Amino acid sequence: VGSTSIRDRYARVRSHSEALAAPLSAEDQTVQSMPDVSPTKWHRAHVTWFFETFVLAGRPWYQVFDPAFGYLFNSYYEAVGPRHPRPARGLVTRPGVAEVAAYRSHVDDAMSRLLEDELEETMRCLVELGMHHEQQHQELLLMDIKHVFSCNSLLPMYAPAAPHPRPGAAGSSTGWSGSEGGVMEIGHEGDGFCFDNESPRHSVLLAPFEIARGVVTNGDWLAFVADGGYRRAELWLSDGWYAVNGEGWEAPLYWRGDDSGRWSEFTLSGLQPLDPDRPVSHVSYYEADAFARWAGTRLPTEAEWETAAADGDLNQAFGEVWQWTASAYLPYPGFRAAPGAVGEYNGKFMVNQHVLRGSSCLTPEGHERVTYRNFFPPSARWACSGVRLARDPA
Amino acid sequence: VGSTSIRDRYARVRSHSEALAAPLSAEDQTVQSMPDVSPTKWHRAHVTWFFETFVLAGRPWYQVFDPAFGYLFNSYYEAVGPRHPRPARGLVTRPGVAEVAAYRSHVDDAMSRLLEDELEETMRCLVELGMHHEQQHQELLLMDIKHVFSCNSLLPMYAPAAPHPRPGAAGSSTGWSGSEGGVMEIGHEGDGFCFDNESPRHSVLLAPFEIARGVVTNGDWLAFVADGGYRRAELWLSDGWYAVNGEGWEAPLYWRGDDSGRWSEFTLSGLQPLDPDRPVSHVSYYEADAFARWAGTRLPTEAEWETAAADGDLNQAFGEVWQWTASAYLPYPGFRAAPGAVGEYNGKFMVNQHVLRGSSCLTPEGHERVTYRNFFPPSARWACSGVRLARDPA
Amino acid sequence: VGSTSIRDRYARVRSHSEALAAPLSAEDQTVQSMPDVSPTKWHRAHVTWFFETFVLAGRPWYQVFDPAFGYLFNSYYEAVGPRHPRPARGLVTRPGVAEVAAYRSHVDDAMSRLLEDELEETMRCLVELGMHHEQQHQELLLMDIKHVFSCNSLLPMYAPAAPHPRPGAAGSSTGWSGSEGGVMEIGHEGDGFCFDNESPRHSVLLAPFEIARGVVTNGDWLAFVADGGYRRAELWLSDGWYAVNGEGWEAPLYWRGDDSGRWSEFTLSGLQPLDPDRPVSHVSYYEADAFARWAGTRLPTEAEWETAAADGDLNQAFGEVWQWTASAYLPYPGFRAAPGAVGEYNGKFMVNQHVLRGSSCLTPEGHERVTYRNFFPPSARWACSGVRLARDPA
Amino acid sequence: VGSTSIRDRYARVRSHSEALAAPLSAEDQTVQSMPDVSPTKWHRAHVTWFFETFVLAGRPWYQVFDPAFGYLFNSYYEAVGPRHPRPARGLVTRPGVAEVAAYRSHVDDAMSRLLEDELEETMRCLVELGMHHEQQHQELLLMDIKHVFSCNSLLPMYAPAAPHPRPGAAGSSTGWSGSEGGVMEIGHEGDGFCFDNESPRHSVLLAPFEIARGVVTNGDWLAFVADGGYRRAELWLSDGWYAVNGEGWEAPLYWRGDDSGRWSEFTLSGLQPLDPDRPVSHVSYYEADAFARWAGTRLPTEAEWETAAADGDLNQAFGEVWQWTASAYLPYPGFRAAPGAVGEYNGKFMVNQHVLRGSSCLTPEGHERVTYRNFFPPSARWACSGVRLARDPA
């Protein structure tokens, strides 16, 4: 990345979003299938609004594209003002995709002009944040459209060769890596970009542990299902058992069984036969935790994951499936949110969620870090979330 | 109508639907703003499915366009099979508007071929029913897109000169027409088309009554609002009072008040200053009933309405606003639903609704009859529904 | 009734309420099992509040028992003031049964003093209304405690010989009574008491009809169940079909099937083997309507019922099960609610309900009239409601 | 405790429950005001069921009191079998309080016989667990009846001198205690009783911290309210802000404001003027967290709390209000739930909750420990929960 100018990187991030939206019709880009999901065109507009609001607004030469967009495309920044209710994002038919494209061009032109000159540090950081923010929404865009399509009985295809978790190298998913534990460091350090929730770097005390080299596969999960995993209360957290029964869970979110007991998996390339060698994905924390208990193991803490990953002990750490950890999403000791509206980016979500580590096949290239802390509520299944096991040494 | 061939009439009805959808983008046509509302493209496809299913299906020369559409575009015909859940109609992004247009063309071609020859009576009746069915959906299409747009803070415009209730002729909304009552006939007779719920024609016994020549205006309604109409429990049915408080009703559905107490009205042509001379519209049965009580009057029964309208005693009976009646929507004595799936058309909805009479500015030309029975639940406000008063002679 | 003084009748009505509550413990009298149900002690206090508020309050010599009771025991009289929310009636543990008994005594003493002297007409009418009101709550008390007990897996018994619908005389439930129809009178006339909704007496025009002499039995209903009655959409109103599926209805409310397919019925005397000769009870309007359709018949209108009953053509008209009619609960032509708070007694409920005629085994003696109009929402099943069929002559 | 026999201690715990229930009428003991709350008589029966099921059942000489009670009074032990739904505990009127008292006597007699002899270790542990379990329900009983009474507009009193948080000694609530941090031990050790979630004792690494000597008072909280604490989004976690707006929170759960802006507090002794020197209580984790942010501080972790408490650095640690910590309720490293049904006691709730430390004025004597881990969801307010602050050294 080093030698690439921020202007080039900006252009690259922005055009990647457009490439991701390209296979989607105007209709596809408009719909919201549940409150957690946002329409594609909302994602495209919201990440643009981020640059307009935090970087461009207030510059004398910048003309706001449409003042009404501030209300429509603010996600959750209370400090910026009121906003369109989240569950109603799918009701906004206008602006349409063409106008959203015009909005993007308008902001891109202004950003391009801005980035011709050296920026002062604060501004440069906000542009950097905006690019990483857009990358997060690139993953959300794919997660969300997958969910939208899954609600359509025709099970449409996003693209014939869309991203999907790949099998590990032979044997990669077996075996354990051991650690002696002790006082170790986690959290981000150095000059590179990180989100505020990755800092400050700090010491933690770990007991000896073992962590699986690979992630849990569909084949492993089939054994769990066959063994009554979704019908045995003793394997589940109480809230998880409530979800199993209330939601009727019998398998990961996108598995579909046929009458003869064969499983398929709905993917961005449509319905596919379930491949037992691929990582299991789209499971909740509750399911990950129950699976680990069934297997006589447990989930790793985020500190265990990070120290093992930093040591290079993990296969499939990145680019396949996010890996649930046993750690609740809480501030690191000494954490301090940034002042102002961007301080709402991460800190205010630090309750009722669990941390996931690594990255997934939907994560854009260059967006992964060993210190990265992703987070979702324990019931969430629409992220590309899987499982890596850990255990205490015998 | 007489001399126009059914083939021409079919073509005219079908192209009118397309004309109504023409101002709407692909995004506009996809969204569902509440369970009662259907997306424009769903309306366009569903009315097509009706012809395909009830008229074309099973003919050896007819090739079903896409077998999956039966599931997606069946509305409520249990006898035809399972169907996509109504509240999830807005989640179907594919087929898109282009494919829906192709579906329409495919069916239109087949219908055109079919209608070249004389049809046997049963089939001719089904084609006739299908055309009237499509006309009903033309009104629904406009009601529904109005609701969709009303959920968008930008308050978009369907068309600059979209239909909207017009003021009556000077003095038309004042005065009463009296009737001596007695045994009178209501219900459809003769050879013309009617829905099954308009028959059989039968005798009713009416007490003497007076019915208003015109309909209630926005100006009348402003007086009701100003007199605390929405805050006085004694004016309301118990279920109505519950709705007022639960839903926070303070005015008709599309009225918008500004800080200075001026009212505007959201219309298919965008936000407009409230015109006191136009008929009030988008009020529920509960509101209509409360208004009548406040005015020291009552709502007419459907028999009172029909006999007065048949005598030509009513102004603004048609083409402005549907008029709530005091009559629950129940079968006429001797009513018998048609056998088979089309028997589900009307009969199974005969509970928990009230009858509206007349027609509205959204009703397509030629779709109105003095015996027509429209119906909605008493809480419904998204139809173009207004109020005509009645009273007992002094 | 004629020669009994109002004072004696008052005492008799009041003591009957206490007799009905006598088998119930303090715990039994406190609980509310759904919003429609009220606790026994609430019934006992509310009917007392009615006399206190509408008859005693304001008399210089009368000391209000506890001013806070006005809030707790007002049911739905908006004109009287705010009140405890209906769904929370079961949260009020104090006043307890002993204090409610003291409240009743206090009001009875005052009423007894008041009734020593001749009352002026308006007051006499209110006392009369209060007594009929208390009788209505006597039936509700039994309906409600039956529902409360049905939520307890121990299925407790109210009393070993509690009221329950009895089989008709041999042959009583078969055969039809025919009527020529014509202009006939319905509604209350004469000096006796009636509720305002039974008036004014007025003419109706009836087509010829036939009405069943007896009511539908459990045995009849077993045949409906066995014939897939609860699984065949074509038999049901749309809202009814929604209820069947949403609520999982497979039989009347209190039927309980065992593994071997034998049915029992939960009664106020506990669980009893289902007796095929007794009237079916605790069915909703939706079920009654579906049963009638299945049987190739229909429900009678309330005018058909009343004219046939007035002619003495009906067996089991009173004292077994209320009989659903096809008539929506609407005001009679010329109906006018009483002025003031008691005008809220009936009129404001005239929407979204259907009329039931006759009376049930839970109705107190002397509370039945051929013009009596009971009413419940079409989904209600906790009343002792059954079915009488009608049909059009061949 | 040492020299007191387990038989005596059993008798003392059991009679304390009865003493707590003594001021409550049969009606009071029957009602459930929300799903989290259980009726008093349910508590009395459930703790009895615990001894019957885990200690007495299966002994040849023990006669089960009523086999149906297993279904009614199992709380959440999946391994023991199906059970009455939690939100419907308030619908069970029978068994009544007298039968529950008989149940308690029956089990007490059997336990008394059992405890005459030396028990084997496993059984002794289960009896010990049962006693601590009953003590937990003693606190729940008081929390729950307070909530029940708070739903009654009469605001009844449990007892004139009921437990309520007391002001600290002069100056006790001011000042900070500092810690150098480092590797420290937390968790239970030794022979005394502890719940499984307090073990194993293990090392943690703490950064230097300061922790408040006293707890936050009503006076402190009044300043927070006056400063717009409940109206400033920037102070709140996102889920907390949602709760504030969705639930309409403006003050702690039992504060009641009058028209002149004076605050009272509903207590087990009825409504009392708010005492600014007493600890604030009945606040959620969300409120505690927002208060800490407003004060420029943070909540302590449970390890910070425990190490400071073990060092004797905290005033008001026990007997006033539970103190929310920043720690999610998660298993300690190496935690292992007990085998069998009692393994469900704690472990399965380790998600979506936060830890509270200390004890409250409602906690029975002898039930407190420096290692005790109480836990509630972050939105819960009906526990006697307050706030102790912490901060990072300057």
The shortest C-alpha distance from B28 to chain A (Å) reads: 5
Nearest-by-CA chain B residue for C300? B333
The residue written with tokens 């408490």 in the block is D309
Which residues in chain A touch residue B29, judged by CB atoms under 8 angstroms apart? 27
B90 neighbourhood in chain A, CB within 8 Å:
31, 90
What is the helix (H) or strand (E) element at residue D233, kind and residue range? Answer: none
**D289·A351 Cβ contact <8 A:** yes
Contact C93 D156 (CB under 8 A): yes
- Neighbour-count burial for B158-185, b at 16+ CB within 10 Å, e otherwise: beeebbbbebbeeeebeebbebebeebe
Q: How far is D12 from chain A (nearest CA, A)?
A: 32
Subunits adjacent to chain C (3 or more Cβ pairs under 8 Å): B, D
SS3 category, D339? coil
**Euclidean distance between CA atoms B202 and B185, whole angstroms:** 5
Note the pLDDT of residue A3. 55
Which chain B residue has its CA at the smallest distance from C235's CA?
Answer: B348
For D300, name the nearest residue in chain A, comparing CA atoms only. Answer: A333
Strand partners, C205: C183
Over residues C187-196, mean pLDDT = 95
Q: For residue C2, what pLDDT is reported?
A: 46
Give the residues across from B279 on adjacent strands. B217
Tens digit of pLDDT for each residue in C333-390?
Answer: 999 988 888 889 899 999 999 999 999 999 999 999 999 999 999 999 999 999 999 9
Query: Which tokens belong to D117?
Result: 């002899």
CA distance, residue B93 to nearest chain A CA (Å): 5
Task: Give the mean model confidence (pLDDT) for residues A86-110.
Answer: 97
Crossing angle between the packed helical segments C40-51 and C6-21, to the nearest 10 degrees: 160
pLDDT of residue A174: 80
- Whether C144 and C40 have beta carbons less than 8 Å apart is answered as yes
Distance CA B99, CA A154 (A): 14
Which residue numbers of A have CB closer than 8 Å to D's CBs? Answer: 76, 78-79, 183, 202-205, 207, 233-234, 236-241, 285-286, 289, 326-328, 330-331, 333-334, 344, 348-352, 354, 378, 392
Q: Can chain C be said to touch chain A, i.e. do they have 3 or more Cβ pairs within 8 angstroms?
A: no
CA distance C177 to chain B (A): 18
pLDDT greater than 70 at residue C141: yes
- Cα–Cα distances (Å) from C42 to A170, A320, C24, C48, D145, in that order, read 72, 62, 13, 10, 20
Contacts of A333 in chain D (CB under 8 A): 207, 392
Give one DSSP letter per residue of C216-285, joined into a string: PBHHHHHHHHHTTGGG-GGGS-HHHHHHHHHHT--S-TTEEE-TTS-EEEEETTEEEE--TTSBP-S--H
Q: Among residues B150, B201, B190, B142, which one has the least CA distance to residue B359?
A: B142
ipTM summary value: 0.96
Give the chains touching B; criterion: ≥3 Cβ pairs < 8 Å. A, C
Neighbours of chain D (3+ CB pairs under 8 A): A, C
Rounded distance between C-alpha atoms, residue B313 and residue B149, angstroms: 37
DSSP result, C296-360: T-BPPPHHHHHHHHHTT--SS-SSB-EEEEEEE--PPTT--PPSSGGGGTTGGG-SS-EEEES-B
- What residues of chain B score a pLDDT lower than 70? 1-3
| Beta bridge mates, B116 | none
Say whether pLDDT at C127 is over 80. yes
Q: How far is D63 from chain C (nearest CA, A)?
A: 19
Q: For residue B232, which phi and psi values (nearest 5 degrees)?
A: -110, 105
Which of D88, D93, D152 lies nearest to residue C93, judging by beta carbons? Answer: D152
- In the prediction, which pLDDT does D34 show? 97
Q: Side chain identity at A260, as an amino acid letter? A: S
Tell me if C352 and B378 make a contact (CB, 8 A cut-off): yes
Tokens at residue B278, please? 């136009």
From the CA of D268, how many Å to the nearest CA of chain C? Answer: 14
Mean pLDDT for the stretch of residues C122-150: 97
Contact check, Cβ <8 Å, A349/D237:
yes
| C82 Cα distance to chain centroid | 26
A 10 A CB-CB count for C335 gives 18
Q: Which helix (H) or strand (E) segment is D163 a member of? A: none
Strand partners, B99: none
Read off the pLDDT band of C232 (50, 70, 90).
Answer: very high
The residues that bridge with D272 in the sheet, in sequence order, are D265
Q: How many CB atoms lie within 10 A of CB C104?
A: 21
Mean of the per-residue pLDDT values of chain A: 96
For chains A and B, CB pairs below 8 A equal 92
**Residue C166: both structure tokens together:** 């009895």
D90 and C26 within 8 Å at the Cβ level: the answer is: no
Model confidence at C300, in pLDDT bands (50, 70, 90)?
Answer: very high
Q: Which residue has 């029992």 as its token pair?
A: C264
Three-state SS sequence of chain A: CCCCCHHHHHHHHHHHHHHHHCCCCCCCCCCCCCCCCCCHHHHHHHHHHHHHHHHHCCCCCCCCCCCCHHHHHCCCCHHHCCCCCHHHHHHCCCCCHHHHHHHHHHHHHHHHHHCCCCCCHHHHHHHHHHHHHHHHHHHHHHHHHHHHHHCCCCCCCCCCCCCCCCCCCCCCCCCEEEECCEEEEECCCCCCCCCHHHCCCEEEEECCEEEECCCCEHHHHHHHHHCCHHHCHHHCCHHHHHHHHHHCCCCCCCEEECCCCCEEEEECCEEEECCCCCECCCCCHHHHHHHHHHCCCECCCHHHHHHHHHCCCCCCCCCECEEEEEEECCCCCCCCCCCCHHHHCCHHHCCCCEEEECCECCCCCCCCCCCCCEEECCCCCCCCEECCCEECCC
Beta carbons of A268 and A142 less than 8 angstroms apart: yes
Q: Quick one: CA torsion of C354, C356, C360, C364, rounded to 10 degrees?
A: 90
Task: For chain D, give the percent of residues with pLDDT over 90.
Answer: 92
Cα(C98)–Cα(C387) distance, integer angstroms: 40
User: What distance in Å separates residue D92's CA from the closest CA in chain C?
Assistant: 6
Choose among C249, C317, C279: nearest CA to C167. Answer: C279
Residue B196: φ, ψ to 5° = -60, -30
Give dist(CA B136, CA A61) in Å, integer.
53
Written as six digits, the tokens of A30 are: 């408009």
Q: Which residue in chain D has the smallest CA separation from C67?
A: D154
Q: How many Å apart are CA B46 and CA B69, to the nearest integer?
A: 9
- Tell me the residues of D at the C interface, defined by beta carbons under 8 Å apart: 25-31, 33, 41, 68, 71-72, 84, 88, 90-97, 148-149, 151-154, 156
User: Residue B189 and residue D138: Cα distance in Å, rounded?
Assistant: 76
The minimal CB distance from C93 to the residues D91, D95, D148 is found for D148
Q: What mean pLDDT is predicted for residues C20-24? A: 98
User: What value does the mean pLDDT take over residues C86-97?
Assistant: 96
Distance, in Å, from the CA atom of B297 to the CA atom of B305, rounded to the nearest integer, reads 15
Nearest to B278 by CA among B383, B173, B145: B173
3-state secondary structure of B232: coil
CB-CB contact of C210 with C179 (8 Å): yes
For chain D, which residues score pLDDT lower than 70? 1-3
Question: Is there a contact between C91 and D152 if contact means CB atoms under 8 Å apart?
Answer: yes
**What is the reported pLDDT for C43?**
98
Confidence of residue A318 (pLDDT cuts 50, 70, 90): very high
Q: C236 and C179 in contact (C-beta within 8 Å)?
A: no
D243: its two tokens:
């709760």
Nearest to A327 by CA among A390, A261, A276, A244: A390
Does C233 sit within 8 Å of B352, measured CB to CB?
no
SS3 at position B241 = helix
- Report which DSSP code applies to C21: H
Contact between chains at C351 and B237 (C-beta distance less than 8 A): yes
Pairwise CB contact (< 8 Å): C154 & D29: no
Distance CA B267, CA B138 (A): 17
Residues of chain C found within 8 Å of residue B333, distances taken between Cβ atoms:
207, 392
For position A4, what pLDDT does the model report? 83
Measure the CA–CA gap between A356 and A323, rounded to whole angstroms.
5
The predicted structure's pLDDT at residue B3: 55
pLDDT at D2: 46
CB-CB contact of D248 with D356 (8 Å) = no
